[in-house]
Structure 1
Amino acid sequence: MSRMTWLLGAWVSTIASMSAFPVHAQTGEPAVIAAWTAAHQHSLLDEFEAFLGMPDVATDKAAIRRNAEVLVRMMDKRGLHPRLLENADRSAPPAVYGEWSVPGATRTLVIYAHYDGQAVDPAEWSSDPWKPVWRRGRLDVAPEIVERDASKPIDPDWRLYARSASDDKAGVFAILAATDALKANGLLPTANLRFFFDGEEEQGSPHIGELMRLNRASLRADAWLICDGPVHLSGRRQLVFGVRGDANVELTVYGPKRPLHSGHYGNFIVNPALKLARLLASMKTDEGRVAVAGWYDDVVPLGAAEKAAIAAAPEDDAGLLRDLGQVTAEMPGTSLAEAINQPSLNINGIRVADVGAQARNVIPTEARATLDLRLVKGNTVEGQFGHLRAHIEKQGYLVLDRAPTDGERTSHAKIATVTLESGGYPASRTPMDLPIARDVAAAMRTVAGDSLVLTPTMGGSLPLYLITEVTGAPTLVIPLANPDNNQHAENENLRVGHLWDGIATLAAVMRLPSAAAAGD
């Protein structure tokens, strides 16, 4: 028995015996890719850990550019002809572009992921977010720190803890590792491949439209495949046909012009924290519906195929609620799959004075909140923002897009500054019956079997609307991270078995049926 065969056997048997996630037996090309991955797992993880060790907070332009330069080197050694895509004045984080052209290929795919990450508060992490740490599992289940032994196959349930481990350096690295696996086994893609790694997705990709327009010829494709997000809650692989849109709103309400002692002025001057709390509470009903007039008016209903896909997907909302320590869903009687196909209004954060050891007896000058508006197909950023602004006015507020003047303060009891942040975009949803979507699903089934889940929309947001608007290409999302990965939060993690699954899935998709074979 060869070492590769032994590693593959050990890898599959370990998953089957220990993992709570579903396993599909591999044959043919998927088995070859899985065997290669098993044989090279430690060298792959060495490179991935080094990549994760580079801080990549989206707002740190210098750090993002360092990541881009390293990514160029990672792609160059794989023969993917990388280059940076810059906006006109080079002021924005670059995208990293690469390509793998195939003689005679009649289709082109752009494969997208992003290499920037969310901000971190190291004090909230159980380990340094920029020093990847291995644990036996999830922190609340198997938090023990472990070390890799390069002489042994790694347990697929082990998790790597670091910022961007799942969102979305996992996607970037799985794409690169899939090209490694194909090249090592003499397998060519069946379509020309273009790679687009976004450097500002966590800021809403405000320059992606400009970058695509400047490089339109290079990015023309039959489809864009987006590697981001978690697999289905059941742990099964999924192909997602859409995402919600996103917009962020900054909201500030005002108290006195200077901070006041709450003992001397309490019951006389209204605390802006109370104003903000009442205003935010007015935006949702006790049943979880957004109480802003017009919020649901423009929603494009799901079609028959989309409703059928939701009905066919495995569902365990009760189990999810138990896992999260909750008794009921926000919208009782509405499943998670149904809920993410409706527009939402979330409070990202509230800031007013201080709490705990830093608390003081004070009436502060202002209270602020950042609101996250998630859009579905039919909503527009401007439309939802307009509905929200009108709602705040109906609560008796003078609504401004700037700080109030002294004259406005003395003539209005309620004043709010409401501004729409840049970088928002509408939702996107690709028809489920497109031939290219059928072929991608068929390729994914070579590794997933009949367990593949087709999902009309995921809950998160990506700039898919902009991609289709500029390039004309449809978009499909191929998630690979474990569902409980803590993305955007402290202790973000990636289950390594999902990384291996992602490499196998992407290698299969790169070998999807040719246009001629598919009959397009």
Structure 2
Amino acid sequence: MRIIFALFSLLSFTVFSQDINQLAEKHIQENSIQILQDFKTLLSIPNVAFDLPNINKNADHIIAELNKRGVETKLLRMVGTPPIIYGYYPVKGAKRTLAFYVHYDGQPADKTNWTHDPWEPTYYSKAMSQGGEPIDFPTNHSQIAEEHRIYARSAGDDKAPVITILTALDLIQANKMKATSNLVFFFEGQEEAGSRQLQQYLNDNRALVDEIDLWLFCDGPVHQSRKPQLVFGVRGVTGMEITTYGPNRPLHSGHYGNWAPVPGQLLSELIASMKDDEGNVIIEGYYDDVEPLSDLEKRAMSSIPLIDEGLKKELAINDPEGTESYNERLLLPSLTIKGLSSGNTGKLARNVVPATATGSIGMRLVKGCDPEKQKDLVEAHIRKQGFHIVREDPDQETRMKYPKIAKVTRESGYPAARTSMDLPITQDVIARTKDIAGEELILLPTLGGSLPLYLFTDELKKPAIILPIANHDNNQHAADENLRIENLWYGIKLMSALMTMDK
């Protein structure tokens, strides 16, 4: 009888494994209107991290929704900081614990740049860029098309995963199924503000997170080819501001031009010296610490579709940096000029030699690169170009002593992180995701963007995988952020599959 029961259990799971798409499709069809309304309600609550009253409204709303589904919840609080929403869904007999990380805060939004109010969700027939027009939210499933979009702040980054997780729990419970892992829900409220207290939250609540076997980060877009992907790492991030100096006050360019040093020119020449004509960073040692890919990661990279030509057309770029493909460039640390400032332009331009020029440099790091060391390398390069580095604006004595002065203001940052694709638990996730995505699933070693993933992989010593669901053209962080409806449905299927993952 034990053998028969074991065989029956195995057969039941095999059938379910094959039918997860069908079950999810049925649930979505029967509940799509309510799902969209729930999403609309959540998106209607402003969620800028520094707006604590509204951030707390978001937290209270999400906790209430988790409680409805039998999740044991608590708010982890620190004074003056957005709370962490913690939920625990224990499963009797489960031998593993999966944690789903989501951030419920979003980027600030300047309403003057948006077509509609960013916190008044608007339903569109398709993307605005493709000629889509606003239409009423649907009242039955037949009115919903996969190319429909919802426009609102955090539609793509990062409230969609909250709705997909809640709906996945509904699906499991409605079909009288059982999750196969203990589930932890860890929703952060200040990721877009730098996750400044995240490490402290983790340190103060180690008892709540120590049992977790795998972190699943629900953030980011699917591949630009629209194919689904799993991501096993992120780039780190840091940066600095550089200010160069000319005269101690702005000077008339007619009287002093051709004589007084121009800080904008000094800064431009300095920045230009950091990269070659193909866009490669030529600062000594900048690429030296890059950790190579494993054989499995190299094979995964070789199967990722090349999207360079499509991206060039979409973004109107004739000549991208580097000779490698887009995918390969993500595996190198980058150095980007985020902004330059000196004097004025346009109608406000004046005939002056400005006193200063400032450039903001962003640096994305890959596995192996230490943020402080990378900034040290940049500073060493600045010195090699003949600049004396200061940390405060120079006084008269310093100005007279050195011909070229650069004030360097170093920004904080964090390292890159990457989880091995070879781990048994990551192989389980890959196999289960293919039940939803099929063999076209892309396995990406490193995402171009940054998340504080190192706190989990390096500090907690736990593997982490990113589960992107948003469309790649979701206008993340920008005006008219949006989510494609088919991507929302995909997220529901994915969360349901992983919550019922075998073993």
Q: 2:208 is paired with a residue of what secondary structure?
A: coil
1:427–1:143: structure 2 CA closer, same or farther, 3 Å change rule? same
State whether residues 231 and 446 of structure 2, in contact with CA within 8 Å, keep that contact through their aligned partners in structure 1. Answer: yes
Which of 316, 329, 345 lines up with 1:339 in the alignment? 329
Letter in 1 for 2:428: D
Letter in 1 for 2:166: L
Task: Tell me the percent identity.
Answer: 44
1:443 aligns to 2:443 (yes or no) = no
State whether residues 127 and 147 of structure 2, in contact with CA within 8 Å, keep that contact through their aligned partners in structure 1. Answer: no
CA offset at residue 401 of structure 1? 2.4
CA offset at residue 28 of structure 1? 1.4
Residue in structure 1 matched with residue 13 of structure 2 by the alignment: none
1:215 aligns to 2:205 (yes or no) = yes
1:392 aligns to 2:382 (yes or no) = yes
TM (norm. structure 2) is: 0.91
1:410 aligns to 2:410 (yes or no) = no
1:275 aligns to 2:274 (yes or no) = no
CA offset at residue 62 of structure 1? 4.7
* Structure 1 segments of 4+ aligned residues over 6 angstroms from their partners: none
CA deviation digits over 1:54-75, x for unaligned, max 9?
A: 3323444454344333333333
Q: 1:459 is paired with a residue of what secondary structure?
A: coil
1:295 aligns to 2:286 (yes or no) = yes
Which of 95, 104, 110 lines up with 1:121 in the alignment? 110
Bigger mean CA deviation after superposition, 464-473 or 406-415 = 406-415
State whether residues 33 and 182 of structure 1, in contact with CA within 8 Å, keep that contact through their aligned partners in structure 2. Answer: no
Bigger mean CA deviation after superposition, 304-313 or 173-182 = 173-182
Inter-partner Cα distance in structure 1 for 2:218 and 2:394: 44
Residue in structure 2 matched with residue 84 of structure 1 by the alignment: 75
Which of 219, 224, 233 lines up with 1:228 in the alignment? 219
Bigger mean CA deviation after superposition, 115-124 or 488-497 = 115-124
CA deviation digits over 1:175-209, x for unaligned, max 9?
A: 22222222222222110011111222223322211
1:377 aligns to 2:367 (yes or no) = yes
1:289–1:175: structure 2 CA closer, same or farther, 3 Å change rule? same
TM (norm. structure 1) is: 0.88
Which of 21, 32, 42 lines up with 1:51 in the alignment? 42
Inter-partner Cα distance in structure 2 for 1:406 and 1:65: 50
1:145–1:354: structure 2 CA closer, same or farther, 3 Å change rule? farther
CA offset at residue 407 of structure 1? 2.2
Residue in structure 1 matched with residue 137 of structure 2 by the alignment: 148
Residue in structure 2 matched with residue 512 of structure 1 by the alignment: 501
Inter-partner Cα distance in structure 1 for 2:247 and 2:145: 58
Bigger mean CA deviation after superposition, 41-50 or 229-238 = 41-50
CA offset at residue 356 of structure 1? 3.2
What does 1:36-185 align with in structure 2 at a 5 Å threshold? Answer: 36-87=27-78, 90-151=79-140, 152-185=142-175
Letter in 1 for 2:467: I
Q: 1:347 is paired with a residue of what secondary structure?
A: strand
State whether residues 213 and 462 of structure 2, in contact with CA within 8 Å, keep that contact through their aligned partners in structure 1. Answer: yes
Residue in structure 2 matched with residue 480 of structure 1 by the alignment: 469
1:198 aligns to 2:181 (yes or no) = no
Inter-partner Cα distance in structure 2 for 1:370 and 1:169: 30
Letter in 1 for 2:149: R
Letter in 2 for 1:488: H
1:123–1:359: structure 2 CA closer, same or farther, 3 Å change rule? farther
Extract unaligned runs of 5+ from structure 2.
Answer: 1-16
State whether residues 125 and 134 of structure 2, in contact with CA within 8 Å, keep that contact through their aligned partners in structure 1. Answer: yes
Letter in 1 for 2:415: P
State whether residues 104 and 187 of structure 2, in contact with CA within 8 Å, keep that contact through their aligned partners in structure 1. Answer: yes
State whether residues 419 and 457 of structure 2, in contact with CA within 8 Å, keep that contact through their aligned partners in structure 1. Answer: no
Q: 1:485 is paired with a residue of what secondary structure?
A: coil
Inter-partner Cα distance in structure 2 for 1:205 and 1:418: 24
Which of 263, 266, 269 lines up with 2:257 in the alignment? 266
Residue in structure 1 matched with residue 448 of structure 2 by the alignment: 459
1:146–1:247: structure 2 CA closer, same or farther, 3 Å change rule? same
State whether residues 425 and 466 of structure 1, in contact with CA within 8 Å, keep that contact through their aligned partners in structure 2. Answer: no
What do you get for the CA RMSD once the two structures are aligned?
2.1
Letter in 1 for 2:30: A
Extract unaligned runs of 5+ from structure 1.
Answer: 1-25, 515-520
Pairs aligned (count)? 485
Letter in 2 for 1:256: P
1:270–1:111: structure 2 CA closer, same or farther, 3 Å change rule? same
Residue in structure 2 matched with residue 309 of structure 1 by the alignment: 300
Inter-partner Cα distance in structure 2 for 1:45 and 1:183: 19
1:355 aligns to 2:345 (yes or no) = yes
Inter-partner Cα distance in structure 1 for 2:54 and 2:241: 26
Residue in structure 2 matched with residue 431 of structure 1 by the alignment: 420
CA offset at residue 263 of structure 1? 4.1
Inter-partner Cα distance in structure 1 for 2:349 and 2:162: 43
CA deviation digits over 1:386-423, x for unaligned, max 9?
A: 1111111222222122232232223223222222223x
1:489 aligns to 2:478 (yes or no) = yes
1:279–1:132: structure 2 CA closer, same or farther, 3 Å change rule? farther
Letter in 1 for 2:487: H
State whether residues 434 and 441 of structure 2, in contact with CA within 8 Å, keep that contact through their aligned partners in structure 1. Answer: yes
Bigger mean CA deviation after superposition, 109-118 or 169-178 = 169-178
CA deviation digits over 1:82-113, x for unaligned, max 9?
A: 222234xx243322211111111110011111
1:469 aligns to 2:458 (yes or no) = yes
Inter-partner Cα distance in structure 1 for 2:52 and 2:270: 36
Letter in 2 for 1:454: L
Residue in structure 1 matched with residue 4 of structure 2 by the alignment: none
Inter-partner Cα distance in structure 2 for 1:359 and 1:135: 41
1:100–1:421: structure 2 CA closer, same or farther, 3 Å change rule? same
Letter in 2 for 1:447: I
Letter in 2 for 1:180: D
Inter-partner Cα distance in structure 1 for 2:125 and 2:489: 17
Letter in 2 for 1:207: Q
Q: 1:393 is paired with a residue of what secondary structure?
A: helix
Q: 1:230 is paired with a residue of what secondary structure?
A: coil
Inter-partner Cα distance in structure 2 for 1:370 and 1:79: 48
Inter-partner Cα distance in structure 2 for 1:300 and 1:189: 37
Q: 1:487 is paired with a residue of what secondary structure?
A: coil
Inter-partner Cα distance in structure 1 for 2:253 and 2:189: 46
Inter-partner Cα distance in structure 1 for 2:489 and 2:207: 33
